[in-house]
Amino acid sequence: MEQLIAIIEKGQPFFNAIARNKYLKAIRDGFISVIPIIIFSSIFCLVASVPNIWGFYWPDDINNALWKCYNYSMGILAIACAATTAKHFADAQNRDLPKNNQINFISCMCAAIIGFLLLSSDTIATDAASGFNTTYLGSKGLLTAFIAAFVTGIIYKFFIKRNITVKMPEQVPPNISQTFKDIIPFSVCITVFWVFDIVFRAAFGFCFAQGVIQVFQPLFTAADGYIGLAVIYGAMSLFWFVGVHGPSIVEPAIAAALVANMTDNLAAFQAGQHASAVLTQGAQYFVVCMGGTGATLVLVFMFCFLAKSQEMRAVGKAAIVPVCFAVNEPLLFAAPIVLNPVFFVPFVFAPIANIWILKIFIDFLGMNGFMYTLPWTVPGPIGTIMGLGFQPLAFVMLALILVVDFVLYYPFFRAYDAQKCAEEAEISQEELAAKNAEKAAKLNDAFQGKADAKSVAAGAAAEAVKADAPVASAAPAAEATTASDLNGKRVLVLCQGGGTSGLLANALAKAAKERGIDLETAADAYGNHVDMLPDFDLVVLAPQAASYLADLQKDCERVGNKCVACRGKQYIELSQNGDKSLAFVSEQLSK
């Protein structure tokens, strides 16, 4: 097992390179930007549809009002995604351009929207009214939205990089000059989309968006099969197990299918048909990742209530609340589960077993698949029942999944528990009690209202996450750090998902406040940082995002601020020691 993990670990640089790919990152960040639309619209969908299960139907005027809000948000999801993906892709393209000759992302967003509409919608004209056909403006048009965004970004970069633009005299204000500078790339984009649309429709008789769906439908169908589901979610868990953020690699490839299948399920259900799609966002949030990646909900209860090892019980008690809300980094890194050979098999195969059970219930027992999306932090059992519309079979399936996960994890849990008990038997009870108390305290400190739940991810990630980025050296505890060194400074901490970064940001803020230092800190996810950079003096990358250092350096060079990446042990040490964290920031700012 250790040899297998070592082989997989050697591929970590390659996996990190995939995660950093600008096309995949643009899809991921663009899709994340429109998640509020999906969740918001699903609220109205739930209110409108769920009461039907018990025979209650809203009056027509109320029902129409509820669905209007759903259709006017979810119905234009692809339009919004074309814009957000174009924005993030333009940010990535700008890293390769001089800071005084950048792509105007707003113009790029507008061009992507128009290009997408040309490729995806037919004009409807009658004597009474005219408008757009909305068939492919929602989830069905997501793939075309990504294509429109990428084509737009590539065209803009071609013209801006070569200065093929309308140039105005120096006396013209910059905002006016920028408008004229965008004319040529904008016009070329729209012309390319317009001509392509005419040629494509003439050749095939339908719009490009419909053609894209037809081409990718076999892949969507294969992904919804047993082998496809196993590959997708086995890979996601495998990447996480070796310390690479799995969703960053896997989700961009299936993002369109997750939403489109959910929409198809809802349409089928409303038409009185079987909602048969398995690969949906709800299935990923609440069935595959029940208790976080690796389906660790049952495992944390084992740690908390069944472990004989005092250390495992301490970890379980500290991690049980966040894991219930799908934030399992405290368990993954504090136990640890990541890079722990004992848990390799259940961590990778429990999610596969869960999604297969869901598919069996849908294919053979006639249960409808997920039709509604809830926030990913909703506890897995609750999200499963609500996302499946309170179907009676959903309760049976949930119980079976919990039993199967228990059976898969229990033998490995017992083996690890015995291993830890043997280790604890070799040290005195006093030392053991002190060690466990310290570990539990460090984990609990992250949940005292100063950091969001996910910020515990850094808990012991240090021991497992190995980034390829250069390592910054922490300064020794600097009692001589003066307020004048840091007063008025601003520090931004970035991680993969916006949670782990809160650990260091909160530690810095607390230490600065206690010492009367005017230091402003903030935490966010990498990908949301581009527009924030001018407001900060130093940007710190947490261990999970350290592989993005090269890209971040390009971003920071454009605005003239500094950046640094931390590795695991160093990051945890800084998060737990106020003096060292302040000294570290002072040292980086002085370079």
CB burial readout 361-370, b (16+ within 10 A) else e: bbeeeebbbb
**Residue among 106, 177, 149, 17 nearest 531 (CA):** 106
User: Which residue among 45, 81, 324, 495 is the active-site one?
Assistant: 495
Tokens at residue 222, please? 């294969």
110 touches 189 (CB < 8 A): no
> Does the active-site annotation cover 108?
no
From CA 165, how far away is CA 144, in angstroms rounded? 27
Kind of pairing, strands 489-495 and 130-132? unpaired
DSSP 284: I
Q: Parallel, antiparallel, or unpaired for β 130-132 and 123-125?
A: antiparallel
The Cα–Cα gap between 129 and 226 comes to 47
Helix (H), strand (E), coil (C) string for 502-557:
HHHHHHHHHHHHHCCCCEEEEEEECCCCCCCHHHCCEEEECHHHHHHHHHHHHHHH
By CB atoms closer than 10 A (0-12, 13-18, 19+), residue 176 is exposed
Helices assigned H by DSSP within 50-104: 60-71, 77-94
If you ran DSSP here, which 8-state letter would residue 276 be given?
-
- The token pair that represents 391 in the structure block: 């179907």
Q: Which two tokens stand for residue 441?
A: 């305290």
Which residues neighbour 563 within 8 Å (Cβ) at sequence distance 6 or greater? Answer: 538, 539, 540, 541, 549, 552, 553, 555, 556
C-alpha 63/C-alpha 544 separation (Å) is 45
Phi, psi of 523, rounded to the nearest 5 degrees: -130, 140
Kindly state the tokens that stand for 133. 């056909």
Question: Phi first, then psi: what are they for 540, rounded to 5°?
Answer: -115, 130
Q: What letter represents residue 112's amino acid? A: A
Cα–Cα distance, 354 to 407 (Å, whole number): 12
Kind plus residue range of the DSSP H or E element containing 206:
none
By the 10 Å C-beta count (0-12 exposed, 13-18 middle, 19+ buried), 533 is classed as middle
Helices 22-33 & 246-270 angle (0-180, nearest 10): 50
Cα Dmax for the chain: 88
CA atoms within 13 A of residue 48's CA, in its CB half-sphere: 22
Q: Is 316 helix (H, G, I), strand (E, B) or coil?
A: helix
What whole-number distance in Å separates Cα of residue 517 and Cα of residue 379?
39
Active site residues: 495
